Amino acid sequence: MSAAFVPSAKADAAADTAPLVVAHDLARTFDVSAPWLNRVLERKPRTLLHAVDGVSFEIERGKTLALVGESGCGKSTVARLLVGLYEPTRGGMRFDGQDAHAAYRTAAGRQLRRRIQMIFQDPYASLNPRWVVEDIIAEPLREHGILREKAAVRERVGELLRSVGLSPLDMTKYPHQFSGGQRQRISIARALATAPEFLVCDEPTSALDVSVQAQVLNIMKDLQRERGLTYLFISHNLAVVRHVSDQVGVMYLGRLVELADKAQLFAQPRHPYTRMLLDAIPQMHATGRARTPVQGEVPNPLNPPTGCAFHPRCPHANARCSAERPALLSIGGVRVACHAVEEGRI
């Protein structure tokens, strides 16, 4: 009997240690061509935008992976791919061992969507201005059939409001009666309504004042500790990323160029682009030191450079960099896509 029990215990342990989210070679291409008749008359080919091009990562249960990079690098597209708002052109995502994009297209997708929720960037645009807070937060409860009785729904909405630092008395108010930080708390409460395991947070504090950002981030950290939540946190603010993340992925023009533990990435960045981003952060102890601004402009994503997309802005680029696209390799415990790092030139 004990012999029969041991394998199942091992299987449970393996399930606990397996990553909750695994994205493999995730890609999304958009057709941004001119209308067909214009293309025929002007003899122009179709125009394709490779918004995300072969992104792979894993997120352990209860941990936070932050994706950072300049605007337009594909961070938000990754977020929408993970929650099923976009269909991948290539690759896919496994959630708790299940092919998520295959499940999204079936009846099982409804159950999966309860376990995966998203917090959007703009709390002014993501809440229906014609609904009171009670209806906004109760919508997922009713949509997924979690609660139907009015008294039970009101009680649950009150609990959710308390969990994000608001009062149950706020449920009769409209979104315009709240500040930006309070609206984002309402968005978080709505996302928590289905008791999800994985939250995709698309720059949830970028539209808020700095002091309000800290309050919202602390609420999110507390909720993660209490509920064992797993986060994908998207931001272009490296100070915020340092506060919330366990791992950091740096994106450039649709691809991951570096993926490392937070402490290692901030202490010893490997990719020249990561170094450039970190060097541009103001530091209290370095008052008076000239900061290095982020050099150059992001290339046109409709016509990206050959080879490494970063090579026109890179001080370490050589002929190989302009001709051959680097793969994301594991070097010294860090995954980095850079020929200069691979060859030991930096």
Cα radius of gyration (the chain): 22
Question: Per-residue pLDDT tens for 177-191?
Answer: 999 999 999 999 999
Give the torsion sign (CA, 112, 116, 121, 127).
positive
Asked if residues 60 and 22 have their Cβ atoms less than 8 Å apart, the reply is no
Whole-number Å distance between alpha carbons of 21 and 64: 11
Asked if residues 168 and 162 have their Cβ atoms less than 8 Å apart, the reply is yes
Whole-number Å distance between alpha carbons of 133 and 148: 17
Number of Cα atoms under 13 Å in the Cβ half of residue 333: 8
127: its two tokens: 């809440």
Query: What is the predicted pLDDT for the residue at 282?
Result: 67
User: How many residues appear in the chain?
Assistant: 346
Query: What is the predicted pLDDT for the residue at 6?
Result: 44
19-236 falls under which CATH superfamily?
P-loop containing nucleotide triphosphate hydrolases (3.40.50.300)
Asked if residues 88 and 23 have their Cβ atoms less than 8 Å apart, the reply is no
- 207, amino acid identity: A
Secondary structure (DSSP) of 84-114: TSS--SEEEEEETTEEHHHHHTSTTHHHHHH
Query: What is the predicted pLDDT for the residue at 309?
Result: 94
**Domain coordinates in residue numbering, the chain:** 19-236, 246-282+305-345
Query: What is the predicted pLDDT for the residue at 294?
Result: 60
Asked if residues 32 and 47 have their Cβ atoms less than 8 Å apart, the reply is yes
Instruction: Tell me which residues of the chain have a pLDDT lower than 50.
Output: 1-11, 13
Q: How many CB atoms lie within 10 A of CB 166?
A: 20
Whole-number Å distance between alpha carbons of 141 and 145: 6
Question: Per-residue pLDDT tens for 82-107?
Answer: 999 999 999 999 999 999 999 998 88
> Which residues 6+ apart lie within 8 Å of 328 measured at CB?
56, 255, 256, 257, 259, 335, 336, 337
